[in-house]
Amino acid sequence: MPSAVQAKPPGGQKRVALFVTCLVDLFRPSVGFAAVKLLEQAGFTVEVPEAQTCCGQPAYNSGDRADAQAIARNTIAAFEGYDYIVAPSGSCGGMLRCHYPELLAEDPQWAPRASALAARCYELTQFLVDIAQLDALDATFPSRVAYHDSCSSLREMNVKAQPRALLGKVKGVQISELAETEACCGFGGTFCVKFPDISNSMVERKTADIAASGADTVLAGDLGCLMNIAGKLKREGSNVKVRHVAEVLAGMTDDAAIGDAE
């Protein structure tokens, strides 16, 4: 839960550093621009520290603690001095907020810096609702959407109500809940390529759930899950569109959906 809840920023005084995440940077920059637009709408100044790369999860979750620590130190150094750090991802946000302090707990010099960073770090929709208290959106998206909760958003960041509340403010959006909202989509970072058959069995269940929901669009707050789900839907020949929730909230849905032809 947010430890430093503050009043609404007085007109653009507060500086937010965008942790764009490696997947958004590489594969879907439009999500980054949607996040910037939303944060600016909410009255914040947005900056993008140049020295960011990846949060280090591939190393951390593969048992390579030393590299994960080195990446964590670089990231902390790059993001110090901002009022808030916001990521369009529960997974990367969770890494900064929940795992950096654990990763550097034994390092007397870095442990306090990791905790200070963790306390100011949020997932995008969480920040917009809980901190920025954004109450109006300038977006229209006439569509029946299913919102997929990523595991880290749901269980590490406690994000569940926030994206739904924001979607409720988008004109034309109707939400169809999935039957198994708590089930993992099977992405899991390198898990999905190390255990492709198990991952496939998981994502097949997710796409069946999506089909049963009657939604024409799937949204989520994590690009990893979205690429996995989109990849499976496309392989199955489905017409369901897949987008990051920020695109819809920012009214930036002109780009082709994930995995779709231009």
Interface of this chain with another protein, residues 19 to 48, rule: CB under 8 A: 20, 24-30, 32-33, 48
Q: In which residue are the tokens 């979205």 written?
A: 226
Q: What is the DSSP string of 61-123?
A: TTT-HHHHHHHHHHHHHHHTT-SEEEES-HHHHHIIIIIHHHHTTT-TTTHHHHHHHHHTEEE
By CB under 8 A, residue 240 contacts another protein? no
The rounded distance, in Å, linking the Cα atoms of 56 and 64 is: 10
Q: Which one, 115 or 238, has the nearer CB to another protein? A: 238
* Residue 4 per-residue DSSP state: S
* Per-position x/- string for 154-173, each x denoting binding to another protein as judged by CB under 8 A, each - no binding: -xx-----------------
> Shortest Cβ distance from residue 185 to another protein (Å)?
8
* Residue 150 per-residue DSSP state: P
By CB under 8 A, residue 184 contacts another protein? yes
One residue of 176, 183, 211, 216 binding another protein per CB under 8 A: 183
Are the C-beta atoms of 87 and 21 separated by less than 8 Å?
yes
By CB under 8 A, residue 105 contacts another protein? no
By CB under 8 A, residue 14 contacts another protein? no
Nearest Cα to Cα of residue 258 among 221, 238, 236, 229:
229
One residue of 67, 135, 138, 177 binding another protein per CB under 8 A: 67
> Shortest Cβ distance from residue 6 to another protein (Å)?
26
The rounded distance, in Å, linking the Cα atoms of 113 and 118 is: 9
By CB under 8 A, residue 110 contacts another protein? no
The rounded distance, in Å, linking the Cα atoms of 131 and 113 is: 22
By CB under 8 A, residue 90 contacts another protein? no
By CB under 8 A, residue 152 contacts another protein? yes
Q: Of the ranges 104-112, 129-137, 139-147, 253-261, which one interacts with another protein (CB under 8 A)? A: 253-261
